[in-house]
Amino acid sequence: MAITAADVNKLRQMTGAGMMDCKKALTEADGDFEQAIDILRKQGQKVAAKRADNVVSEGIVLVHLNADATNGKIIGLACETEPVSKVESFQQMAINIMSQAVASNATDKDSLLATTQADGRTLSEHITELIGKIGEKLELVAYENVSAECVASYVHSNNKRGVLVALNNVGGADVAEVGRDIAMQIAAMKPIAVDKDGVDAATIEREIEIGKELARNEGKAEAMLEKIALGRLNKFYKESTLLNQEFIKDGSLTIAQLLEKTQKGLTVSSFKHIAIGA
């Protein structure tokens, strides 16, 4: 049957796919709109498979705090190129993902991707469909769901880096500002753990071995290598764990001291840092 411009436009309005893709799908489906929609969905799967190994280094990070700031959610939706990250359909997809995260209160990325949308398809299937329309790899690279007495957030100006911080022992104090300062600290200084107790054993062992090798290269006595390496490890903790870092806004305070100064007993129980293309 003849495929009219009105038919093509109707399918485009229904799916958001390009004009030529809609025309080809309708032609292949002999004018059957439901079959044409299935063809376009399969096209998205084909594009996704073809580009599965491509690097995604652009995208957008979004955060959401509930009304009393006791729960925060953060997502990172990534794509291959910066122009795509600015496309309305891509940004709307990020918003839709966050809306679904809030509605479902999904605990992790896999369960969020598996949530069912209004049309019966999963969120993962919606992303795959958008891949077919846009023509490059899209990926939900991260999703975190954090709850605490107070959750603070920060998104960097390029929208590619974001942080959630869980604060406890708030004691009724207003900690929103210090929480944001700490979230900014995390984005800038990239700590690997809250405190040294949160650093995994493999990392500690690696740092000790590096410390020994550096000391050995400096000509230090073999009997002194372990002691020197442990000294370097303490320096590593100071630079790489949040509570031991110097506060970037006031170098006379560590983050632990800043928390205590703000409210006695105030602690950071966890943080989540998402960065696209870092």
Q: Write down the domain spans for the chain.
A: 5-50, 54-147, 200-240
Q: Please give the helix or strand (H or E) that residue 253 lies within, else none.
A: strand 250-254
Per-residue pLDDT tens digits of the chain, which is 278 residues long: 678 888 888 877 776 666 777 788 888 888 888 888 777 777 766 655 666 678 889 999 999 999 999 999 999 999 999 999 999 999 999 999 999 999 999 999 999 999 998 888 899 988 988 888 888 889 999 999 999 999 999 999 999 999 999 999 999 899 999 999 999 999 999 999 999 999 999 999 999 999 999 988 888 888 889 899 998 999 999 999 999 999 999 999 999 999 999 999 999 999 999 999 86
Q: What's the CATH fold of domain 200-240? A: GTP Cyclohydrolase I; Chain A, domain 1 (1.10.286)
CA angle 140, 50, 27 (to 5 degrees): 105
Contact 112, 97 (CB under 8 A): yes
Cα separation, 264 vs 74, whole angstroms: 28
Q: How many CA atoms lie within 13 Å of 227's alpha carbon, on the beta-carbon side? A: 5
Contact 125, 233 (CB under 8 A): no
Q: The whole model's pTM is what?
A: 0.79
Output the six-digit token pair for 43.
């096209």
Contact 277, 191 (CB under 8 A): no
Per DSSP, the three-state class of 269 is: strand
Contact 136, 51 (CB under 8 A): yes
Q: Which CATH architecture has domain 5-50?
A: Orthogonal Bundle (1.10)
What are the C-alpha distances in Å from 118 to residues 27, 184, 188?
A: 28, 37, 39
Cα separation, 258 vs 186, whole angstroms: 14
Cα separation, 43 vs 223, whole angstroms: 65
Question: Do the domains spanning 5-50 and 200-240 agree at the CATH topology level?
Answer: no
Cα separation, 100 vs 134, whole angstroms: 21
Beta strands in the chain (DSSP E): 58-65, 71-79, 138-147, 150-155, 161-168, 246-247, 250-254, 267-275
What does the pLDDT read at residue 255? 98
User: pLDDT digit string (tens) for 28-46?
Assistant: 888 888 888 777 777 766 6
Which one of 3.20.20.140, 3.40.50.300, 3.30.479.20, 3.40.50.1100 gives the CATH number of domain 54-147?
A: 3.30.479.20
